[in-house]
Amino acid sequence: MNVVSISGACASGTCRAATPTSHRPLRWLAGAALALAAGTAQAQCSVSASGLVFSGYDVFSATHNDSSATITISCSEATGYSLALSSANGSPQQPLLSSSDDALDYRLHQDAARSLVWGEGSFSLSGNTDGTQEHTVYGRIPAGQNVRVGNYTNTITVTLEF
């Protein structure tokens, strides 16, 4: 299993599959392992994400503040993967946008209707790609939160396992 993690609005990362090694292999086992490794192609995958940017939040508005971002998975050959998100502020199920004085509750959703919250049940998404696969993350700041004026931020870490 290989893991790639990225954080921030425009971060990206690349990971290559590692060849298994042993500290004290027998000579004939080492030779057999090298022969097998030489004949096996290893997938190369990368992950990138656009920033999830909300417009100005109006505490007097009865309308939710919605936004979306795209996570792009690219693999050199057919590869199964799982994708997970985690929040620096708050829990994965209840991330917070925070300023120096206050915090805004928001949610990350798997669907445009914003009915499937990331973090309810399994906080990951599985897929398979032999090229590029995009996943949209839908964000929502619920209306009716009484917060101070300020710049609110959070870091979401995207973890790709393949």
Per-residue pLDDT of the chain (162 residues; tens, 9 = 90+): 444 444 433 223 322 222 222 222 233 333 333 333 444 557 788 899 988 899 999 999 999 999 999 999 999 888 888 888 888 887 766 788 998 889 999 999 989 999 988 765 445 677 777 889 899 999 999 999 999 999 999 988 888 888
Domains of the chain: 3-13+45-161 (2.60.40.1090)
Q: How big is the chain, counted in residues?
A: 162
